[in-house]
Amino acid sequence: MRTITQFWLLAACLTVANAGLASAQELQTTTEFEVKLTPEMITDGLTETQEFWVPVLRYIRSDEFTAGDAKGRKAATAFFERLHEALYKQLFEADEETARDLLDYFCLRLRKYIIYRHIRDEVKSDLAMATLMDEWEKDFRDVNVLPKDQREAKVEAILKSLPGQMAALGISASDSEKAMKWWTFEGKCMTRMSNTKAGALITTFEHDARQMDLSIGVLLRDIASAADWALITKKSDKCISRAEFEKAWKNLAELRTKHLTMTQPAEKR
State pLDDT tens for residues 41-95.
888 887 787 778 778 878 888 888 888 788 888 888 778 777 767 766 665 665 6
Among residues 52, 70, 51, the alpha carbon closest in space to that of 61 is found at: 70
The residue-averaged pLDDT of 6-18 equals 43
Distance, CA of 114 to CA of 244 (rounded, Å) = 17
Backbone angles phi, psi at 171, to 5 degrees: -85, 130
At residue 207, the pLDDT reads 81
Residues 6+ apart with CB under 8 A from 153: none
Global confidence as pTM: 0.85
> Domain spans of the chain?
4-261
Contacts 24+ apart (CB under 8 A), 31-38: 32/111, 32/189, 33/111, 33/115, 33/185, 33/186, 33/188, 33/189, 34/185, 35/111, 35/114, 35/115, 35/185, 37/107, 37/110, 37/111
State pLDDT tens for residues 197-251.
888 888 888 887 777 888 888 888 898 899 999 999 988 777 788 899 999 999 9
Distance, CA of 140 to CA of 135 (rounded, Å) = 9
Residue 174 has pLDDT above 90, yes or no: yes
Residue 94 CA neighbour count, 13 Å, CB half: 28
The terminus-to-terminus CA distance of the chain in angstroms comes to 46
At residue 26, the pLDDT reads 56
State pLDDT tens for residues 125-153.
999 999 999 999 999 988 988 888 999 99
